[in-house]
Structure 1
Amino acid sequence: MLRIDDPSFLWPLLTLDEAALEHNITTVAGAFAAAGVDHAPHVKTHMSRRVWERQSAVGVWGATVATPGQLRRVVDWGVRRAFLANEIVDPRDIAWLRSALAGDASGELEEAWVYVDSARGLDLLAAGFDGADAAVVARLGVLVELGVPGGRTGLRTRDEVVALAGRVRDAGLRVVGVSGYEGPVASGTSEQELTDVGRWCDELRATGLAVAGLVDGPLVLSAGGSAFADVVARHLGAPLRDAAGSTVPTRVVLRSGAYVTHDHGHYLHADPWTRMGAQALLPAIRVWATVLSAPEPGLVIVALGRRDVSFDIDLPTPLVARTPDADGRLGAARDLAGVRVTALNDQHGYLALGPEADGTLQPGDVVGFGISHPCTTLDKYRTALITRGDDVVEQVALDF
């Protein structure tokens, strides 16, 4: 069996701990089952067929993607139900989607959901499906997106969503519900911020109730849920009742994706899972890089930069150091204390060492780093190694 220090691998190296992956996948599946909500994991995090298969094996509604290009890729993987949690406005992409739902693409896409948030976007979608067989149109689900003022896509008011949903139905397309992303509502998990997220979820529920009469079947309510899964599941999963007090059938679909690898930064601190009563998730992702230089006291330079690791939320966290032998085989791991990353260039990282750590890292040592925000680390690689300790269990392609 290969090891991470095999000569065929080079630093920087991306590894995913198998036990942590499996723990995270099963923990989140159990938490959502207990909350009574469905899950369509956002595979933009990793874009790996093999990781998706591990997620799918525990039972999910389908795969969520962010772009039409990602949608094409997951259909190639064999995904049967896909959720493009974004608007689709390019006539070429719409034409491809129609062909995929008709069974003319490489995969067999039996259902796809997409967003609309404008009359123009709806017109483009409707034109692309004009004259399509009724069975093909029935496989397309349209969700009207509710946004956040000052945020990204999505209509800003309930009335706008209701009006556009009516136009979707009048255009002969199938309205399945409403959706949005709660992330722009809060940047942290203070009591007030969690309350704000809950208030936004309540508005999405009320908006869904207002369009429920246009929906054939259960009303879909969907939100992200990576940082605020507890709030989203609690609010959207509560029984929805109309003015007469009758229960409105709903299907709540969360699109959490970053949970699969977790991290040592943003999602570690957000941690909605223990608030749901589940076990804490485990950071699966680690990036290994070599020490290049120790040019002055208190400073070490490593071969790890912006092309190798995420930096959009937090800088990486030095976790362990290992000294290779004469053949490059890694020695025992030693924990790092008093070491932090202060800056990144394209392919250099600056490590500041406190007095207790000064001199502990030498050129040639290999440092294992934790990261913050897996989505912008995984996309820097084309392959990840799934590991048990130093053993490589599987090499998986990342289809970015």
Structure 2
Amino acid sequence: MLRIDDPTFTWPLLTLDEAALDHNIATVARALDEGGVEHAPHVKTHMSREIWQRQAAAGAWGATVATPAQLRTALGWGVAGPGRRAFLANELVDPRDIAWLRAALTDGTADRAADEVWVYVDSARGIDLLAEGFAGAAPDDAARLGVLVELGVPGGRTGVRTVSDAVALAGLVHDAGLRLVGVAGYEGPVAGGTSPDELTAVGRWCDQLREVATGIAGLVTGPVVLSAGGSAFADVVTRRLAVPVQDAAGETVPTRAVVRSGAYVTHDHGHYLRTDPWTRLGAPALRPAITVWASVLSAPEPGLVICGMGRRDVSFDIDLPTPLVVRPADGAGRLGEARELAGVQVTALNDQHAYLSVEPVSEGGLRPGDVIGFGISHPCTTFDKYRTALVTRGDEVTEQVTLDF
């Protein structure tokens, strides 16, 4: 069996601990199921067919993506799992992509890529483009396209800004002959942290989704879908969206809650470790699965070490990497025992160099040729630096997964 230090590979190297990966997938699947919500994990995190198949096997409803290109890729995987379903969490505005999606959903063809795809709308123009693109489609084909009105946040990114605007837009979807399935959005812009006040603010935004559901229930055949992100606020989202919705007359509005958490799959040593909503739900703690391994290139002056890893190799948009362990390499490049690092931190990154500050007590402890394992913050912007990742059990490689960016 291959090892991470075999001549086949070189540093920097992205590895995924198999036990942590499986633990995270199973833990979140169980927590969401117990919370009464469905899961459409955001596969933009990894864009890996093999990792998605693990998520699908754990019961995911479908794969969420962010862009039309990612949608084409995911549908090319066969969106493995029940129903071959995908969710584009953005408005589809390019007529070429709409035409492609219509073909992908066409009935009666051997290569139909999916059985159901959901998309957002947040404008009358977006509705017109979808309606034009699906004009004349057979009813069964048109029914495979589900449309959700997107509710945004003032000052945030996409999505209409008020409940009344969302309800009005839903009416336009219905009048255009498109299949309205519900309301969705991303709660991330509501709060930057997890203080009680910030969690309360996220809860208020979830309540707005519920208000929209009340206003559009008569336009939706079946339960109204309520969908949110959930990576940092799954506890709030799950508890608010799974509660029955009642209209002004006190009648219960049938709903389905679907969360799109994606970064949980590998967790991290930074942003998601701090915001972790899963333990707030009473679930076992997730485990960071990602390690980026890089070699020490130079120790040019006291207190400074340079590693062969930079902005092209690791995420840096939220936090800089965290040095975890160092391992000496022998004359054949084989790694020795790991030693935990203390008093070492990354202070800056160039394209492919990392600057490490080393406390005096640690000086001499890091030599050129040593290999350091780094934890990361925000897996989405680490995965996209690579084309493959190694799933590992200790130093053994159990699987090499593709990353289709």
| TM value normalised by structure 1 | 0.99
CA displacement at 1:242 relative to structure 2? 1.3
How far apart, in 2, do the equivalents of 1:4 and 1:201 lie? 44
Does residue 355 of structure 1 match 2:336?
no
Distance 1:370 1:105, change over 3 A: farther
The residue type paired with residue 115 of structure 1 is Y
Q: Deviations over 1:140-175 (max 9, x none)?
A: 100000000111100001111111111111110010
Please name the residue that 2:335 is paired with. Answer: 330
Structure 1 residues 85-234: aligned runs within 5 Å: 85-103=89-107, 104=109, 106-234=111-239
Return 5+ residue gaps in structure 1 as ranges: none
Q: Deviations over 1:200-240 (max 9, x none)?
A: 11111111211111111100000000000000001111111
Q: Deviations over 1:29-78 (max 9, x none)?
A: 11001100000000000000000000000111100000111111111111
How far apart, in 2, do the equivalents of 1:48 and 1:333 lie? 29
How far apart, in 1, do the equivalents of 2:277 and 2:111 lie? 38
Task: Confirm or deny: 8 A CA contact 1:75 1:106 kept in the other structure.
Answer: no
Structure 1 residues 221-300: aligned runs within 5 Å: 221-300=226-305
Distance 1:107 1:344, change over 3 A: farther
The residue type paired with residue 255 of structure 2 is T
Please name the residue that 2:76 is paired with. Answer: 76
How far apart, in 1, do the equivalents of 2:264 and 2:129 lie? 34
Task: Confirm or deny: 8 A CA contact 2:390 2:400 kept in the other structure.
Answer: yes
How far apart, in 2, do the equivalents of 1:106 and 1:290 lie? 46
Task: Confirm or deny: 8 A CA contact 2:105 2:112 kept in the other structure.
Answer: no
Structure 1 residues 379-390: aligned runs within 5 Å: 379-390=384-395
3-state SS of paired residue (1:282): coil
How far apart, in 2, do the equivalents of 1:56 and 1:239 lie? 27
Distance 1:353 1:107, change over 3 A: farther
How far apart, in 1, do the equivalents of 2:110 and 2:213 lie? 33
Does residue 65 of structure 1 match 2:65?
yes
Task: Confirm or deny: 8 A CA contact 1:177 1:220 kept in the other structure.
Answer: yes
Task: Confirm or deny: 8 A CA contact 2:278 2:284 kept in the other structure.
Answer: yes
How far apart, in 2, do the equivalents of 1:78 and 1:106 lie? 10
Aligned positions, number = 400
Does residue 19 of structure 1 match 2:19?
yes
Q: Deviations over 1:113-155 (max 9, x none)?
A: 0000001111111100011111111111000000001111000
Does residue 376 of structure 1 match 2:378?
no
Distance 1:385 1:106, change over 3 A: farther
The residue type paired with residue 53 of structure 2 is E
> Structure 1 residue runs of 4+, over 3 Å off?
103-108
The residue type paired with residue 327 of structure 2 is R
Does residue 32 of structure 1 match 2:37?
no
How far apart, in 1, do the equivalents of 2:238 and 2:24 lie? 17
Q: Deviations over 1:237-296 (max 9, x none)?
A: 111111222211111000000000000000000010000000000000000000000001
CA displacement at 1:358 relative to structure 2? 1.6
CA displacement at 1:106 relative to structure 2? 4.2
3-state SS of paired residue (1:326): coil
How far apart, in 1, do the equivalents of 2:167 and 2:61 lie? 26
Task: Confirm or deny: 8 A CA contact 2:106 2:112 kept in the other structure.
Answer: no
The residue type paired with residue 82 of structure 1 is A
How far apart, in 2, do the equivalents of 1:107 and 1:216 lie? 24
Higher mean Cα deviation, 82-91 or 102-111?
Answer: 102-111
| TM value normalised by structure 2 | 0.98
Distance 1:259 1:126, change over 3 A: same
Task: Confirm or deny: 8 A CA contact 1:267 1:373 kept in the other structure.
Answer: yes
Higher mean Cα deviation, 354-363 or 328-337?
Answer: 354-363
Return 5+ residue gaps in structure 2 as ranges: none
3-state SS of paired residue (2:159): coil
Q: Deviations over 1:61-97 (max 9, x none)?
A: 1000001111111111111100001010000000000
How far apart, in 2, do the equivalents of 1:142 and 1:26 lie? 29
Task: Confirm or deny: 8 A CA contact 1:75 1:107 kept in the other structure.
Answer: no
Please name the residue that 2:5 is paired with. Answer: 5
